[in-house]
Structure 1
Amino acid sequence: MLVPAMSHYPLFLSLSLITVLMPGSAVLMTLSTALTRDRKASVYAIAGLICGSCITCAAAMLGGAALLASVEASALRALELASVGVLAYLAVRAWRAAPLPAMQDQPQRRVLRRIFVSGLMLQCVNPYLLVYVMATWPQFLDRAQPLPLQLLALLGLHALVTLGVHSGYAALAHRACRWLGGRGGALQMRRFGALAYLGFGASLALRLVGG
């Protein structure tokens, strides 16, 4: 058998679903993008988050554990500091963002590319995702079978769960846009998103200081 046993799929999918559903910076980005941008921007945000998640998950399985063991806690701390920096950047960008109609005055590709890269960066420096993968994914691997295809299977399943969950969040947020309406509502949501990003970053920074 070249992929994880079929009996492992339900447990892995359930674990991934619970993890992806939990409120965090990735969910916040999906919601804030959907509430303040159009559906195409939401697609780019979710694509960036999925790509970043796959990169982090693959790195964790292929060498993240060995790296962290070789440098003790310093690598994880550096990743956490990078995560604080990305959250601070997203907070500043959300606070200073122009009103929604102004997106039409900017090069559409540039805006969408920036949204994709933001999602990618957010997940690439997500310390919680790294720890989660290293703590749980090895249990679903059969050491007697080729590991690359098993890893691809797990990555594919996790990506599908992420796509489904975040698409659901985005759909709900787009519906909420109808209730908010107008530039004033969009502005308030951007400000709320900025403060939420700052809250996540401050919480992680305080934990680093306390640790």
Structure 2
Amino acid sequence: MSWQTLAFFFATAFVISATPGPNMLLAMSLGLRFGARRAVWGGIGMCVALAVMAALSAFGLGALLSTSVVAFEVVRWAGVAYLTWLGIAAWRAPVEPAGTRDTTAAAGGEGSPARLFLRGLLVAFSNPKALVFMGALFPQFIDAAAPLAPQLGALVATMIVIEFGWIMAYATGGDRLAARLTSASAARGLNRLTGGLMIGAGGLLALARRV
């Protein structure tokens, strides 16, 4: 793989990752509710899931989902249900006093690294279109005459670095917005904004179609 090809893939992945979708809306909601530092764990979960999905796409499972209506729809609607459930839970979350966001979340377990990692993992896995898309995207940048493994490794590593960067950008934006909201009514609005983002992410996934 040439440097020119890798640079073109970098530019393509950069633009695609920046586009708001379930992963980025989750990142913003985690930043809003738990802060950017805790959102890192959700970001790691999403990136681990994307790496696994990239490996699965290399084995042709992306092509399977793109041709199997039943498999695609089962994964998609399971993801929609999970995102909607997260949104409703965030919408109905109790209002927390200003300055206690991280402490309360950690004490209750909801904002623990393991829970946030699992949430990120499940949200990323719940989007079958990502697997189908990677199965269609990667071959465009692979030289069939060169060894496959090093090329896939370079593409996946590049994609993960870019994705994590955008995840943290969205989470940081959510964190800074939350820091400006200190009143009880603002905190209630924050919960509803967080819930709305997750329900919106479920809506985006509901509109997804096989590529």
TM-score by length of 1: 0.84
Aligned counterpart, 1:190: 191
Is the CA contact (8 Å cut-off) linking 1:80 and 1:126 kept in structure 2?
yes
| Alpha-carbon distance between aligned partners in 2 of 1:50 and 1:186, rounded to the nearest angstrom | 29
| Alpha-carbon distance between aligned partners in 1 of 2:176 and 2:205, rounded to the nearest angstrom | 31
Is residue 2:28 matched to residue 1:31? yes
Cα deviations by residue, 1:73-115 (Å, 9 ceiling, x for unpaired): 222222212221221232133224343352243358x722111
Aligned counterpart, 2:71: 75
| Alpha-carbon distance between aligned partners in 2 of 1:111 and 1:83, rounded to the nearest angstrom | 22
Letter in 2 for 1:149: P
Q: Secondary structure of 1:180's partner? A: coil
Aligned counterpart, 2:49: 52
Shift of the 46–207 alpha-carbon distance from structure 1 to 2, 3 Å rule, reads closer
Q: Which runs of 5+ in 2 are unaligned?
A: none
Within-5 A mapping of 1:1-211: 4-68=1-65, 72-98=68-94, 99=96, 100=101, 101-107=103-109, 111-202=112-203, 204-205=205-206
Structure 1 residue runs of 4 or more that deviate by more than 4 Å after TM superposition:
none
Give the length in aligned residue pairs.
203
Q: Which runs of 5+ in 1 are unaligned?
A: none
Q: Secondary structure of 2:45's partner? A: helix
Shift of the 167–86 alpha-carbon distance from structure 1 to 2, 3 Å rule, reads same
| Alpha-carbon distance between aligned partners in 1 of 2:160 and 2:92, rounded to the nearest angstrom | 31
- Measure how far apart 1:20 and its partner are: 0.8
Identity of aligned residues (%): 27
Cα deviations by residue, 1:27-76 (Å, 9 ceiling, x for unpaired): 1111111112133311111111111111222212222144236x632222
Shift of the 137–179 alpha-carbon distance from structure 1 to 2, 3 Å rule, reads same
TM-score by length of 2: 0.84
| Alpha-carbon distance between aligned partners in 1 of 2:163 and 2:157, rounded to the nearest angstrom | 10
| Alpha-carbon distance between aligned partners in 2 of 1:107 and 1:205, rounded to the nearest angstrom | 29
